[in-house]
Structure 1
Amino acid sequence: MPGIDHELQVLLLQNRPDTPAEILRTAFGMEIPAYDRAETGCADLTSFSLKETKADQVSVLFGADGRRLMAIISEVQAKPDDEKAYTWPLYTSIVRERLRCPVHLLALCPDRRTAEWARKPIGERSGSLAFQASGLGPDNMPVIADPARAQQLPELSVLSTVLHVNHAENPAVLDAVQAALDVLPEKRREDYYDYIWWKLNEPARQLWETMMQAEKYEWQGTYRRKIEENEARGFARGVARGVAQGIAQGIAQGVAEAKAEDILRLLDSHGVDLSDGQRETIKTCTDIDRLDTWFDRALKATTARDVFTP
């Protein structure tokens, strides 16, 4: 089931449906037709009653005369998946048949390995019709450090910031994305602020928090609120246990459980597969320092090994 990370990236594309076109133009040098407007198309691609088929997002580019010039299917892809060799060409064929225009598929990937996998041609080994998607990752996403450009392309600026966590330690990058978010509606700005906080590494996150404090920004967005609620729930759970077990021990256990829940939720949102044993290890851990270490690793983990191996 798609997690928070997946859903937020889909929301970024839905909020500004010309973002995929700008990604293909800037990251891949693709020639995009001169279009008048972009709209989000229907992502339900079910063509047979046997199985529901849905893409994450479809952008349709229209000319001034109302003609469809191009459709871009966007898929948020957390890790390689062999099933996509069959579903992605299907998505493209269905959209092409429905809209009667050229179609391209863009995969948004969190790391270089997944992006390189997404860019591999599909079908040429067996002699069938070849298909190739554009895989976006840290290796080909431009770094946006110009506030004026970021304000023109705010969703692209957010994606660039979270994909380039090392560059995000540069104040110019965070200054640019902050300038972009300043022109957005309050609810969208709030969610993007917290999404950036959630994805950054620790040095960049501390810098981001300092900037937000300078702006008197209150942490009320979706992601930060969930973490704070979980910590409060863990504290309350610990206090209740403290009556029988001792206040200090009860609070520590409750906080540990809340941290473990945060780690598991974070890994699930990233699509990281965990064995039952690995889940149990996280859930039963009472070492707060170790849980903090696992949480920091989980922020950018793509495999279970990234969490448990230094």
Structure 2
Amino acid sequence: MHPLVLGPDNVPVITDIGEAARDLGMAAFSVLTHSDSREAPALLEAPARALRTTDEKTVSYYGDLVDVGLADLRARQKWRDLMAFVTHFPGRGTLREEAYLEGRAEGQAKMVLRTLDLRSVAVSDEVRARITECADLDVLDTWFNRAFNATEAEDLFVDTDTSATPSSSVNTGK
């Protein structure tokens, strides 16, 4: 058995976009191996531009591999700036983003309920369902802030219930 050890001596410096596109794996290793060299800007640019021509799954795989593997914080930030075109970044509405936002909403809903519980505020099944089914982070944030002063769980919904204020444009999180 012979272990393969990658390092500056046996990983090429890939700064050509065409070469990076032909071998994205080696281009990623090139970035990770040489990111602290003076060629770093071109090293980062080549695979980032090459990834623009490939499918979302490949972009996600190599984009994340490089992002996680970069130890140099300046290089990592530059990589993230170059990868801003990737559809899984916020505001693009992809499955990955939706799962991320859903997780954040679930976490925020748990914090609202936990705050009410710690304050011994009774929560009906109907209120619990409304909170846990809400996916609007702004609404959940409002409810979380209100949970600190609420004497009843329904106090969370004051001014966010559109049935009480038909002209309101506030998302109720229903």
**Bigger relative CO (Cα 8 Å, ≥ 6 apart):** 2
Larger Cα-atom Rg: 2
Which structure has more strand as a fraction of its residues? 1
TM-score, normalised by the number of residues in structure 1: 0.31
Which structure has more helix as a fraction of its residues? 2
